[in-house]
């Protein structure tokens, strides 16, 4: 599968997850973290999915077998049952409607895969590795080890500065600030704890 990476606005996602086991649970958890609305459809739902639904108003559970009508209103579809035949049917029906679909047990049967993800504030690192999720997770963890909370804090400060300058009509100053702050020594400034002072100088 050739890959075209994008970042979706989680709040705009209406996800349909078909399946109620451990794989579906992982999909639902990741979608919640992104801020998506999630419908879970399966005749049997495991405890983990039940807990996620109880803790988030954005998760709804329907206890029944898959039916094509359940695709109505979905923007992303996840085929995560333990039945390869059902997953293939979901993929066919979703594709026929022009919907993006992920097939847990057969990535090539879908139109997208879910990467291994690390989040630090507004920083999102996503890694795909040719359909080998264990490798993607290892690489994700290696990258995450070099991105401490200080990076998330720095990005939050930069985002606040950008918003403040643009809101007062000073977009040119934001471009100057960005060029000065996010230079070749940006990582060093974050690691040394001097990035906040650099940002504050442009407020």
Q: Quote the pLDDT of residue 1.
A: 58
Phi/psi at 150 (5° precision): -65, -25
Contact 39, 19 (CB under 8 A): no
Residues 60 and 72 in one domain: yes
What tens digit of pLDDT does each residue of 10-58 get?
999 999 999 999 999 999 999 999 999 999 999 999 999 999 999 999 9
Rounded CA-CA distance 66/24 in Å is 14
For 88, the token pair is 């293939």
5 found inside a domain: no
Which range among 12-16, 146-150, 154-158 shows the weakest confidence by mean pLDDT?
146-150
Phi/psi at 131 (5° precision): 80, 10
Among 98, 125, 145, the domain-final residue is: 145
CATH number of the domain at 46, please. 3.40.50.720
Instruction: List, in sequence order, every residue forming a beta bridge with 127; answer none if it has no partner.
Output: 116
Q: Helix, strand, or coil here: 73?
A: coil
Question: What is the pTM assigned to this prediction?
Answer: 0.85
Instruction: List, in sequence order, every residue forming a beta bridge with 125; answer none if it has no partner.
Output: 118
Residues 78 and 132 in one domain: no
Contact 26, 10 (CB under 8 A): no
Q: List the domain range (segments joined by +) for residue 160.
A: 149-200
């Amino acid at each position: 599968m050739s890959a075209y990476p994008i970042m979706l606005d989680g709040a705009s996602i209406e996800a349909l997850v078909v399946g109620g086991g451990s794989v579906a649970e992982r999909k639902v958890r990741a979608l919640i973290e992104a801020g998506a609305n999630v419908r879970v459809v399966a005749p049997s739902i495991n405890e983990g999915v039940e807990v996620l639904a109880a803790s988030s108003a954005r998760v709804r559970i329907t206890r029944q077998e898959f039916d094509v009508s359940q695709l109505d209103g979905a923007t992303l579809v996840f085929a995560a049952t333990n039945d390869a035949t059902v997953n293939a049917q979901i993929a066919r029906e979703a594709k026929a409607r022009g919907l993006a679909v992920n097939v847990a047990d057969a990535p090539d049967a879908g139109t997208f895969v879910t990467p291994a993800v690390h989040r630090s504030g507004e920083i999102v690192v996503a890694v795909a590795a040719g359909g080998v999720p264990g490798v993607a997770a290892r690489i994700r963890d290696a990258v995450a080890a070099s991105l401490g909370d200080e990076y998330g804090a720095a990005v939050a400060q930069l985002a606040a500065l950008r918003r403040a300058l643009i809101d007062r009509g000073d977009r040119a100053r934001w471009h100057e600030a960005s060029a000065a702050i996010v230079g070749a020594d940006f990582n060093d400034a974050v690691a040394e704890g001097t990035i906040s002072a650099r940002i504050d100088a442009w407020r």
